[in-house]
Structure 1
Amino acid sequence: MTRLTARTLFVSDIHLGTRDCQAALLASLLRRVRPERLYLVGDIIDLLAMRKRAVLPPDQQRLAARLLRLARGGCEIIYIPGNHDAALRRLCGLRVHRVRIERRAIHATADGRRLLVSHGDEFDTHVRIAPWLLALGDGMHQFVLSLNRWCNRTRALLGLPYWSLASALKRRVGAAQRYVAQFEQAALHQAAREGLDGYVGGHIHKAGFRGRDGVLYCNDGDWVEHCTALLETPDGHLQLIDWRGEVIEHEPVMAASAVPGATDVLAAAARAS
């Protein structure tokens, strides 16, 4: 098995405690990637779902144990709770089993960029989608996830690799695309307002990169549908990888980022607006 060299790894939306958690696929990735630093960017443990029905099968238990072994082995782990594990925000500032819990973080890349890291649920108030449509979308999402489970059980029996039915369906829904676009703009605006070079988050289960005026948006995806993570190479380059460790997208070339103080100018403009 080929090892992947990583300075930093960002993963989010694992949703441990639910039937949709793809724990075995994430464990497979962590056998190939040994980062110096690991950000757990929210919704790692789905405490909301576990109020109704707790599911923690052996593969999820093994994944939790692997994460703790990484911490004991010297990997710096920063846990940023999301909206599904928000109860853990009361522990922000503490270190538990060598895992540091923070509300948000500023990550410095190897090439000197400063990135805001948060789960992303704080931007929900900036997304202008009718409440009834959000509720309908959430219900449909749960239904699609159930179809996703059955689809991939069938594929596994046929010897086929994991494939995200949920992702394929959402790419064809206009309301979902508008929600993602508004979320991305809110995150970019926040990073620019703080004078930072970019943003890293999860929450919306849609991995990808976007750039605007020299500010970079990165979403690491999730581990119930897309099974992707964001990896920083030793030289500071960012790339999205899938559960097999294969690169599926590189960060875009940011022309404006080469201009000294570009983010400071953006931040000043944002404060004035």
Structure 2
Amino acid sequence: MTRHFRTLFLSDIHLGTPDCQADILIDFLREHEADTIYLVGDIVDCWRMKRKGFYWPQSHNDVVQKLLRKARKGTRIVYVPGNHDEILRTYPGIHFGGIEVRERDVFETADGRRLLVIHGDEFDMVVMNHRWLAHLGDIAYGLAMWANKWHNRSRRLLGLRYWSFSRWAKLKVKSAVNFISDFEAVLAEEARKHGADGVICGHIHHAANEMRGGVRYINTGDWVESCTAVVEHADGRLEIIDWSRRISEKAGQLARPRAVKQLTAGRDQAA
């Protein structure tokens, strides 16, 4: 069943990389409609394609076509570039295929709150001051995702749920926790400077919806490991949707009837 929202926020899809969960995103877009969609940066990973060569399977093309189709049907789509697709920052105000590019935006919710929409890399000191280190970190992240992929193939064979090393590290490693906390505080302060009630961003692949010093801090997460999005309901309420969790729940609901049927068949045969 398709769900309709006032606004949908997506970021850090990283099309053009093997790590992008394009098939899962297509499934999400098929079941979710919105009056407005914000693409909050790092939608296409130009860094990785420049370094490793062109990578663009059909599923990535399907994501683009799905978004363009929504635009043709009347959905307003605003693209706020990030650091991996920063080339688009040189074209603010341009429209392509019904998609509008903006360097940043101030969005007003249905209940009257003003939220600054920005990718967030501008406030990552590593990206701003040590670009070479940011690229090195991107390579290390790619290696971690490669190792994680093989680790999770083994987990699937054992019937275990997907486990993200990167997400675990962000929650457990002190330096990563401190970085996230500092990033959230700086973004909240930037929203305050603009007279906004909150900020919606991406960049660090860590979904959040919380108050920071009287300012609402919202991070959309990503479509590489967590597969999360932020939606605005008709009344202005903002919610994080964890689509990977929803898929796991759906799989469990489908598996339980099959298991009961198999168990019943086994009992009948034994009788």
Q: What TM-score, normalized to structure 1?
A: 0.82
Report deviation, 1:171: 1.8
Provide, for residues 148-180 of structure 1, a one-character-per-residue CA deviation record: whole Å limited to 9, x for no partner: 322344456667665434312332211111110
Q: What is the letter of the counterpart of residue 210 of structure 2? A: R
Query: Which residue matches 2:35?
Result: 36
Provide, for residues 113-151 of structure 1, a one-character-per-residue CA deviation record: whole Å limited to 9, x for no partner: 000001001111399999998777545422221123223
Larger CA Rg, structure 1 vs 2: 2
Report deviation, 1:225: 1.4
Query: Which residue matches 2:90?
Result: 90
Query: Which residue matches 1:118?
Result: 118
Query: Which residue matches 1:20?
Result: 19
On the 8 A contact 1:22/1:224 being kept in 2, the answer is yes
Q: What is the letter of the counterpart of residue 220 of structure 1? A: T
The DSSP-based 3-state class of the residue aligned with 1:107 is strand
Across the aligned residues of Structure 1 and Structure 2, the Cα RMSD in angstroms comes to 2.6
Query: Which residue matches 1:57?
Result: 57
Higher helix share: 2
Provide, for residues 168-202 of structure 1, a one-character-per-residue CA deviation record: whole Å limited to 9, x for no partner: 23322111111101100000001111111000000
Alpha-carbon distance between aligned partners in 1 of 2:45 and 2:164, rounded to the nearest angstrom = 20
Query: Which residue matches 1:78?
Result: 78
Alpha-carbon distance between aligned partners in 2 of 1:88 and 1:242, rounded to the nearest angstrom = 28
- Give 1:139-154 correspondences, 5 Å limit: 139-154=139-154
On the 8 A contact 1:29/1:244 being kept in 2, the answer is no
1:186 maps to 2:207: no
On the 8 A contact 1:129/1:179 being kept in 2, the answer is no
Gaps of 5+ in 1: 247-273
The DSSP-based 3-state class of the residue aligned with 2:30 is helix
Report deviation, 1:54: 1.7
The DSSP-based 3-state class of the residue aligned with 1:36 is strand
Q: What is the letter of the counterpart of residue 59 of structure 1? A: S
Q: What TM-score, normalized to structure 2?
A: 0.82
Q: What is the letter of the counterpart of residue 11 of structure 2? A: S
Alpha-carbon distance between aligned partners in 2 of 1:70 and 1:128, rounded to the nearest angstrom = 34
Provide, for residues 19-70 of structure 1, a one-character-per-residue CA deviation record: whole Å limited to 9, x for no partner: 1111111111111100110000000011111112221111111111111111
Report deviation, 1:228: 0.3
Alpha-carbon distance between aligned partners in 1 of 2:162 and 2:34, rounded to the nearest angstrom = 24
Query: Which residue matches 2:6?
Result: 7
Report deviation, 1:76: 0.4
